[in-house]
Structure 1
Amino acid sequence: MNIAITPFFRTLGEVADVQIGPFGSLLHKADYIAGGIPVINPMHIAPDGIAADPEFSISDEKAASLKRYHLEAGEVIMGRRGEMGRCAVVLPEHAGMICGTGSMKIVPSPEKLIPEYLVHILRSPRARRELENAASGVTMLNLNATALKGLQISLPPLEEQRRIAGILDAADALRRRRREALALLDTLPGAIFAEMFGDPRDNPLGYPARKLSDLCSRITVGVVIKPASYYVDDGVPALRSVNVREGGFDLKDLKYFSQQTNDGPLKKSKMKKGDVVIVRTGQPGRAAVVDEEIAGANCIDMLIASPKEDELLPYFLEAFLNSDAGRQMALSNQTGQVQQHLNATALKGIDFITPPIEEQREFTRRLDEIRRAKENLTTHLGELETLFASLQSRAFAGDL
């Protein structure tokens, strides 16, 4: 017969000790050295655990004076500044490291709370919201020990905590593998480009070289003079460099022009399907092909190249510009010095390798396969994110 386990709730302070890292005169910037005992601040707490940085260390002597801040296996370290819920279990290999000023260490009561379960609770959306509401600060959130101790958590028996942590660990591992697979796919276009065409600076396959201006029907710049004067609350998207990724777009934080302005005084920089949009400053040379979703939008302070598709395919140009060699060629002037700002003249003057169009089509076909794989993985990752958030919420509510 299955017996339902009814969890009850306790404040974290009832089942764990919470201690803020050293502050004030206990630890100064001047105390940091390279290669000593690592100090763990929020920046060193990653989703998959503690990632110590040897550059953020202190001497053995200084560490000895901070004995009460030493981390021990089985504790939990959590950032108290900035992003709430950033936490990790202290593993045996982390024992003896120092809880940093921007962190707290949590010591669970062994007979009441297991650290793996606690980490999942603290990372849950609900817990993060409650901690954000309890934290102070405008520019950067700052959580104190009293607020963290007051957080209510569901507290099933230890065996049930282990079961729940195991479920969440498995779901989290699936998410990580999907992210790793996506990251690997992001590296493939450059690898395939190098395999098929070699380094364009050396041109080992002896392709004809032509000026990029001869291979494009236009190379122009987006809106550069007072673009903010054209902004409206809603209308035609106006992309900025922050919206362009290598081989794609991030459509968060968009600006907008009115349709009338887009079709009128700013029509020169209106983008069409098959154009390649190129970042000028910040990360100059980063490029993406305009697809159906982006076609008709405008752009701000970026370059637009319209390849003549019987001679140059858009995705070949995109991959060239996103390669280290292509970007260096685009940014280098005639004396070989690197500019931090990419202008239209420099782009037009690139001596661009021109493989036969059939080879470019084969390259594009292989990129299409990568894009389809990424779309499938992204869909699966979204489903896993939704599932994981649901599991976290149920665990926090004591309903998993």
Structure 2
Amino acid sequence: MSAMARIADLAEQIRGVSYDKEDASPTPKPGFLPILRAGNITDEGLVFDDLVFVPADCISEKQKIRKNDVIIAASSGSLDVVGKAARALQDFDGGFGAFCKVLRPGPDVDPSYFAHFFRTPEYRRRVSSLAAGVSINNLKNEHLDEIIIPLEPLPEQRRIAAILDKADELRAKRRAALKKLDELTQSIFLDMFGDPATNAKGFPIAHMGDVCDVRDGTHDSPKYISDGGYPLVTSKNVTGGVVDLTDVNYISEADYVQINKRSKVDRGDIILPMIGTIGSPVLVDHEPCYAIKNVALIKFLKTSPSAVFVRHLLSGHYFDYIVSRKNRGGTQKFVSLGDLRAFPLPLPSKGEQQEFARRVEAVEKARTISRTSEAELNALFASLQHRAFSGDLVSAGRGQLTV
């Protein structure tokens, strides 16, 4: 049986940088250093865009991010955001905001093994239950310190980490292939319609709420259940153009029915995350059996534009361009229902939209094959994660398990 250790015995916990809002700059300035915030922490790792910059003397040497630090989102209005974690793969000449924490692993734990633990569904479920608050969700120092992690001898930790790293590398390659297909669709769109941000072809503009039925999911926080129930899809489950139920939470049938009275998802709808990783729309091509929260729902009428065409407008740089003009400067990205209803859609003729949909169909066939492979790799990774931190990879025989 694996030995167990408290996080506090393996890593140093470091508080985030506090600064006055008026002292921060959205662009680099002499004597300023960048700050990472919750929005920079993703399931694929740290992203270094949408930074803020603060006077360098606000950041102590200890608060500068070092290679192998694990940066954790510790406070948010959304439980989907609290607990998100990512490993720093190299030193970063900057710090992290006060709504984040850093765990700096010590010599008794392999950094990669340690970081993988904070990506497991079991960890996310635990921090969600610990951090839940009335209006703001907070992960306290003691919450992290008292979390228990299985601790194998260092050589075994490194072997397990190498297995997880290899599986994660395969997932990253599949995501890259899907990104290439997205770029192909973007090329087709620009060739037919030009850049929607400039609308050089002069297509008429309509607000999305005037030509589609635009709603959102529940604003309530139904109680999660562990036995049976229905999936509650939130922003974290809508990613990469698909609905990923790998790490979904479940709710009772009564809550499921109540939520779906106003926001039932049907085949042919578009759903879109509204908080955290906004955008990334999904055109629903399956019979859904889930409810939604923090997710927009776009339904199409007989007079609505093509769903394929609208999905593309919501998934490219045009969406980012429009939303960035309404950015409210919060600690995480957010798009409101009002913003989506007012979203301007340049509308080519129905015939042009249908021709675009026809061309995209061929790309979608290739994307479906890639997504199936990605889903299989995600399932493999989730299985390996569970086995890694429940002792099963050890019992399988050291050095004998490969991916």
Same fold (TM over 0.5): yes
CA distance change for structure 1 residues 58 and 392 in 2, over 3 Å: closer, same or farther? same
CA distance change for structure 1 residues 166 and 302 in 2, over 3 Å: closer, same or farther? closer
CA distance change for structure 1 residues 85 and 190 in 2, over 3 Å: closer, same or farther? same
What is the letter of the counterpart of residue 73 of structure 1?
K
CA drift of 1:80 comes to 1.4
Selected match of 1:389 from 370, 373, 382: 382
1:13 paired residue number:
8
Selected match of 2:85 from 57, 69, 87: 87
Determine the C-alpha separation between the residues in 1 that align with 2:283 and 2:98.
Answer: 45
What is the letter of the counterpart of residue 398 of structure 1?
G
2:105 paired residue number:
108
Selected match of 1:367 from 355, 360, 368: 360
2:139 paired residue number:
143
Determine the C-alpha separation between the residues in 2 that align with 1:54 and 1:199.
Answer: 23
1:31 paired residue number:
23
CA distance change for structure 1 residues 342 and 377 in 2, over 3 Å: closer, same or farther? same
Aligned residues: 303
What is the letter of the counterpart of residue 86 of structure 1?
K
2:391 paired residue number:
398
Alignment pair present for 1:78 and 2:63 = no
Q: Secondary structure at the match of 2:72?
A: strand
Q: Radius of gyration: which is bigger?
A: 1
What is the letter of the counterpart of residue 72 of structure 2?
M
Q: Secondary structure at the match of 1:382?
A: helix
Q: Secondary structure at the match of 2:138?
A: coil
CA drift of 1:290 comes to 9.8
Selected match of 1:377 from 349, 362, 370: 370
Q: Secondary structure at the match of 1:9?
A: strand
Q: CA RMSD in A?
A: 4.9
Determine the C-alpha separation between the residues in 1 that align with 2:244 and 2:143.
Answer: 36
Contact 2:282 2:311 (C-alpha < 8 Å) held by counterparts: no
CA distance change for structure 1 residues 222 and 160 in 2, over 3 Å: closer, same or farther? closer
2:327 paired residue number:
none
Contact 2:33 2:56 (C-alpha < 8 Å) held by counterparts: yes
CA distance change for structure 1 residues 164 and 290 in 2, over 3 Å: closer, same or farther? closer
Determine the C-alpha separation between the residues in 2 that align with 1:301 and 1:47.
Answer: 25
Contact 1:46 1:88 (C-alpha < 8 Å) held by counterparts: yes
Deviations 1:244-290 (A, max 9, x none): x9xx9979998459xxxxxxxxxxxxx9x9xx9899xx9xxxx9999
Determine the C-alpha separation between the residues in 2 that align with 1:172 and 1:319.
Answer: 32
CA drift of 1:144 comes to 1.2
CA drift of 1:118 comes to 0.9
Deviations 1:106-165 (A, max 9, x none): 12221x112211111011111121222222423332111111111110111112111211
CA drift of 1:199 comes to 8.6
What is the letter of the counterpart of residue 137 of structure 2?
L
For structure 1, list consecutive stretches of 5 or more residues without a partner in the other structure. Answer: 1-5, 204-208, 212-219, 225-241, 258-270, 295-299, 308-313, 328-339
For structure 2, list consecutive stretches of 5 or more residues without a partner in the other structure. Answer: 205-209, 215-234, 246-255, 275-280, 289-296, 319-339, 394-403
CA drift of 1:388 comes to 1.2
1:297 paired residue number:
none
Contact 2:270 2:284 (C-alpha < 8 Å) held by counterparts: no
Determine the C-alpha separation between the residues in 1 that align with 2:388 and 2:70.
Answer: 18
Give the TM-score normalised by structure 1.
0.59
Determine the C-alpha separation between the residues in 2 that align with 1:342 and 1:101.
Answer: 33
1:311 paired residue number:
none
Q: Secondary structure at the match of 2:362?
A: helix
Q: Secondary structure at the match of 1:71?
A: coil
CA distance change for structure 1 residues 320 and 13 in 2, over 3 Å: closer, same or farther? closer
